[in-house]
Amino acid sequence: IVQPFYREKAQHAVELVTKHMNGANCRIHKPEGALFLWLWFPDLPITSQQLYERLKKRGVLILPGQYFFPGLHEKWSHKDQCIRMTYAQDDEIVARGIEIIAEEVKSACAEK
């Protein structure tokens, strides 16, 4: 009962990300049953922490990728180009959040 429900929510979130990130270089790591998506922005000119701060001001909370690489001492840009976002909330909230993420990513890319 639970797995199909969240599989559908994940598929819907992927569709929304694909739609709203049109024009931005965004890659989606394959969802594998968790309650979140990993989004990778290879051309993001700001860090995922800076993106987090911008999104927080707009009422959208994500997790910056840097926190998921503990013990990595080498400089690796990938950790600053990824975010983790949940799709487990109400569909309307998730949709609006994805729109805002897309707006901020596109805005950051336009500023560079």
pLDDT at 32: 83
CA atoms within 13 A on the CB side of 13: 29
Spatial CB neighbours of 99, under 8 Å, sequence gap ≥ 6: 16, 20
Nearest to 19 by CA among 71, 108, 110, 94: 94
Q: Is the pTM of this model over 0.85?
A: yes
Q: Residue with structure tokens 């109400």?
A: 90
Q: Tokens standing for 33? A: 């049953």
Q: How many CB atoms within 10 Å of residue 32?
A: 7
| Structure tokens belonging to residue 10 | 């994940």
pLDDT in tens, the chain (112 residues): 788 899 999 999 999 999 999 989 999 998 887 899 999 999 999 999 999 999 999 999 999 998 888 888 888 888 899 999 999 999 999 999 999 999 999 999 998 7
What is residue 107's predicted lDDT score, i.e. its pLDDT?
A: 96
pLDDT, position 71 = 85
The residue among 5, 18, 24, 40 whose CA lies nearest residue 103 is 24
Per-residue confidence (pLDDT) for residue 73, from 0 to 100: 81
Alpha-carbon gap, residue 27 to 40, rounded angstroms: 5
